[in-house]
Amino acid sequence: MRRLCAVALLLWLAPVPAFAHLVSTRFGELYTGVLHPLTTLAHLVPWLAVGLLAGLQSPRTGRWSIVAFPIAVIAGVAAAGTVSLPFIELVNGLSFIVLGALVAAAVPLPPWLFLSLVTLFGLSHGYANSAPDIRDFQSVLYASGVGLTAYVLVTLTAGSAQALATAQPWGSIAVRAAGSWIAAAGTMYAGFLLLAG
Amino acid sequence: MLALAAAAAHAHTETGVAGGLVSGFLHPIFGPDHLVAMVAVGLWGAQLGAPAIWALPITFPLVMAFGAVLGVAGFPLPGVELGVSASALVLGAMVALCVRPPLAVAGVLVAAFAIFHGFAHGTELPAAANPLAYGVGFVTSTGLLHLCGILLGTLIRWPAGMHVVRASGGVVAACGAYFLAVNLGVLA
């Protein structure tokens, strides 16, 4: 009996996880939305490419991505519940190749084309970020989180790329090489999706 | 309690990202035949100077990715290991002998070897814990090996440095000759 009491006491004293920091519950799914694109390479890498491409454009053109990309991403998340797009993973695989190759080639794009690409891939990535099991007001928080990451990531990457490409003679080569790495990774990813997936 | 426990909702939970990244990143580094050949690409680029020094690191990953897709598709490319070993021997010899062919010739030669390197990595891609992470990992480490070669190659601005670079090329060529001999069955 004494042993049983001791075991019971031990169990009672056994540590249970204490959620002393409740930010994740207070803001609901906002943090899930923030973290999802950051922890998924299929989103993170092409989003960096959007930033790099924006950084290689003239500031007048590149600046559009800061507004257009997060809005397109949020619209994509919102659209996911209403339409069904089966080939979205392949479109996102294509975004690696198109964006990466444009960064590697470092071509200045006409503003309408740059804006169209950013919007198209923002929509497709937003769509793939959707979380059907998050409902009601929580889904608004979730979409805001994804959009927040889109904004921060693209703005910081575009600014860094612009600074690097203009400040150092090798800077634009470094940015272009990064673009070719992204296009290369995307070529293999798309190849895998088509051939072995 | 269990019913109330909050489970993180993920739109599509990605698995094996860390494992895939690490295995992809280490594949070129723990394959000494890849490692020396990639450093030789950077060394040769530095020796050839502009525009090769920047054309190589930008075009190589793209051609290598094409080779990797052939590998994923199971394309019957003969003599892959021989091609990888020969690339170390030939590229090392180019650096050691300070050969300076026209850019197009150097480009085609390096691109041909890039196909073999990509193929060798690509055949293992579908088996990776996360194929995308594996691809990102091995492209990154290949690019960083080029960078090592280019940085070492900047020594050529000094006469003594040029000797160091050419000697490094000789070491790469010797490694390549050894791997080739092993693959041909001449050496155990």
Torsion of CA B144, B148, B150, B156, to 10 degrees: 180
A133 touching B (Cβ < 8 Å): yes
In Å, how far are A105, B48, B134 from B66, measured between CA atoms?
17, 25, 15
Q: DSSP secondary-structure letter at B130?
A: S
Interface of A with B in 65-94 (CB under 8 A): none
Contacts of residue A177 in chain B, CB cutoff 8 Å?
54, 57-58, 61, 143
Model confidence at B13: pLDDT above 80: no
Instruction: Please answer whether residues A184 and B62 qualify as being in contact, where contact means their C-beta atoms are separated by less than 8 angstroms.
Output: yes
Model confidence at A4: pLDDT above 90: no
| Tens-place pLDDT, residues A31-74 | 888 988 998 889 999 999 999 999 999 999 999 999 999 999 99
Which token pair is A62?
A: 């590149």
pLDDT band at B15 (very low <50, low <70, confident <90, very high): low
| Tens-place pLDDT, residues B26-50 | 877 777 888 999 999 999 999 998 8
Cross-chain Cβ contact A176/B73 below 8 Å: no
Find the CB nearest A184 among B54, B62, B126.
B62
- Closest Cα to residue B157, out of B53, B55, B39? B53
pLDDT band at A75 (very low <50, low <70, confident <90, very high): very high
Model confidence at B102: pLDDT above 80: yes
CA angle B49, B54, B59 (to 5 degrees): 130
- Closest Cα to residue A130, out of A96, A95, A84? A84
Task: In whole angstroms, give the CA distance from residue A56 to residue B40.
Answer: 30
ipTM rounded to 2 decimals:
0.84
Model confidence at A29: pLDDT above 50: yes
| Confidence at residue B68, expressed as pLDDT on a 0 to 100 scale | 93
Task: In whole angstroms, give the CA distance from residue A92 to residue A120.
Answer: 10
pLDDT band at B129 (very low <50, low <70, confident <90, very high): confident
Task: In whole angstroms, give the CA distance from residue B9 to residue B42.
Answer: 45
Helix (H) or strand (E) holding B4: none
Contacts of residue B64 in chain A, CB cutoff 8 Å?
184
| Confidence at residue A46, expressed as pLDDT on a 0 to 100 scale | 94
Task: In whole angstroms, give the CA distance from residue B128 to residue B26.
Answer: 12
Task: In whole angstroms, give the CA distance from residue A104 to residue B171.
Answer: 32
Cross-chain Cβ contact B61/A42 below 8 Å: no
